[in-house]
Amino acid sequence: MAEALTAEHILSTTEDVLRRYGPAKATVVDVARALGVSHGSVYRHFPTKAALREAVTERWLDQAHAGLADIAEATTPAPDRLRDWLRALFDSKRRKALGDPELFATFDVLAKENSDVIAEHIADLVGQLAKIVADGVKSKHFKTKDVQRTALAVFSATDRFHNPAHAREWTEPDVEDAFDAVCDLVIRGLAAR
Amino acid sequence: MAEALTAEHILSTTEDVLRRYGPAKATVVDVARALGVSHGSVYRHFPTKAALREAVTERWLDQAHAGLADIAEATTPAPDRLRDWLRALFDSKRRKALGDPELFATFDVLAKENSDVIAEHIADLVGQLAKIVADGVKSKHFKTKDVQRTALAVFSATDRFHNPAHAREWTEPDVEDAFDAVCDLVIRGLAAR
DNA sequence: GGACTGACAGATGTTGAAATCTGTCAGCTG
DNA sequence: CAGCTGACAGATTTCAACATCTGTCAGTCC
């Protein structure tokens, strides 16, 4: 009303609407109603509903994983840093899955649609892994011929602990054990002998 | 008609019906019709539709993975044997996903339902992994404190390449690379130094 | 009397008409 | 004239009547 209608304003309202109705029920009309404008105005800022969902998810992912980049950039020994980073990723994902289920469900929808936002998100995470692996090689903690390929392998091997498709398993009591066991295996697999 | 109605006969007809209609559409009435009996007769041999589906899937899984146990029992060096076994599992799963999609979909349904059949199937596979890991420890190729935990870690780390939830990824060109990279990482992680 | 049928109740699925939604755009409004 | 509205076409979703399915069981038929 008094405020100008900004993309930012639309995004945070959409987040609220998604949280209330979930990705299956939330409509652009709902968002417009919550903003007190016509839905045509929303289309002035976002070309499609999909673009809107993606923008919300992108923001949400950035916020959720803000701390990860710091861990990746730290100067701690690479093996410890890798374990901390994988742990932080797992904890962050699980916290979101349990504490913010509707937005997590939105994220899950995008993941199953091969959205660009998810591809970028994954590329970002694998890039951070590559940084840690490269540091480990430099410090002689790790040994590998192809850093990028190895970073991808680490990401694949820990898929169960960050891919939203597996979220239902994250409440089982054995996951913690499984996570630690996979971490041990992966870190040993990287180690220089 | 001339034949007596046996559980075996019902199972193979159900397999045909599932292949034709898929798990979502196939009904007990369809199976009975294909057998030329009333659906009440089917319930004489299987208590519920779910039990029937599970029995079919169990047979199908046994047949699909018949060769795996032989590999696990072989006397080749444990690292090679592990790689062969993981490769055989991946190939077998992928072949089924592409060549027998409706029964694979049935398997996928059971997997998402936490069915006992799937739990046993997994326990069987992890048992075979444990055999290979234990042999590797005996022959000094591998080193681990807890064989069972390690076998589970190997199974988790390669989840992307056998869990039906990931079947859509198995046709992407990069999977082969990813599979090899994860195998390398896992086998290095097991190796004694 | 053991194997099978078919009618049945309640649950689940299908269908098509009505309601709502997405995305566009000509026109209003300040 | 930049920002917004609201009517619109076509796509999608909802809803309720209807059909089919699951699982049971009294009764039929060798």
For position B84, which CATH number holds?
Answer: 1.10.357.10
Mean model confidence pLDDT for chain A: 96
Domain count within chain B: 2
- Residues in A touching B181 (Cβ below 8 Å): 149-150, 152-153, 156
Position A110 pLDDT exceeds 70: yes
Taking an 8 Å cut-off on Cβ atoms, the answer to whether A186 and B149 are in contact is no
Position A174 pLDDT exceeds 90: yes
Residue B168 buriedness (CB in 10 A; 0-12 / 13-18 / 19+): exposed
Q: Nearest nucleotide, C1' to the C-alpha of B27?
A: D21
pLDDT of residue A3: 67
Strand D and B55 CB separated by under 7 Å: no
Q: How far apart are CA A125 and CA B177, in angstroms?
A: 19
Least confident of A1-15, A63-77, A145-159, B8-22: A1-15
Strand C and A2 CB separated by under 7 Å: no
Give residue A64's domain range: 58-190
CATH number, domain with residue B16:
1.10.10.60
Q: What is the DSSP string of B107-157?
A: HHHHHHTT-HHHHHHHHHHHHHHHHHHHHHHHTTSB--S-HHHHHHHHHHH
Residue A1, in any domain of the structure: no
Residue A167, in any domain of the structure: yes
Please state, in angstroms and as integers, the Cα–Cα distance from residue B100 to each residue in A28, B92, B93, B110, B162, following that order: 40, 11, 10, 16, 15
What's the N-to-C CA distance of chain A in angstroms? 66
Residue B32, in any domain of the structure: yes
* Contacts by A79-85, CB closer than 8 A, 24 or more apart: A79/A136, A79/A141, A79/A142, A79/A187, A79/A190, A79/A191, A81/A132, A81/A135, A82/A129, A82/A132, A82/A133, A82/A136, A82/A154, A82/A186, A82/A187, A82/A190, A83/A183, A83/A187, A85/A128, A85/A129, A85/A132
pLDDT of residue B5: 86
Q: Pick the residue from chain A with its C-alpha nearest to B191.
A: A189
Measured at the CA of B52, the angle between CA B51 and CA B58, to 5 degrees, comes to: 85
pLDDT of residue A193: 78
pLDDT in tens, A38-73: 999 999 999 999 999 999 999 999 999 999 999 999
Residue A135 corresponds to which amino acid?
Answer: D
- Mean pLDDT of all residues in B162-188: 97
Strand C and B2 CB separated by under 7 Å: no
Q: Quickly state the pLDDT bin for A4 (edges 50, 70, 90).
A: confident
- Please indicate, yes or no, whether residues A30 and A72 belong to a single structural domain of this protein: no
- Please indicate, yes or no, whether residues B112 and B69 belong to a single structural domain of this protein: yes
Residue B185, in any domain of the structure: yes
Q: Quickly state the pLDDT bin for A34 (edges 50, 70, 90).
A: very high
Q: Quickly state the pLDDT bin for B105 (edges 50, 70, 90).
A: very high
- Mean pLDDT of all residues in B42-70: 97
pLDDT in tens, A117-128: 999 999 999 999
Position A1 pLDDT exceeds 60: no
CA neighbor of A180 nearest in space, from A65, A79, A87? A87
* Contacts by A33-38, CB closer than 8 A, 24 or more apart: A35/A5, A35/A9, A35/A10, A36/A1, A37/A5
Residue A53, in any domain of the structure: no
Q: What is the largest CA-CA distance in chain A?
A: 66
Q: What is the DSSP string of A117-173?
A: HHHHHHHHHHHHHHHHHHHHHHTTSB--S-HHHHHHHHHHHTGGGT-GGGGGGGGST
Position B2 pLDDT exceeds 60: no
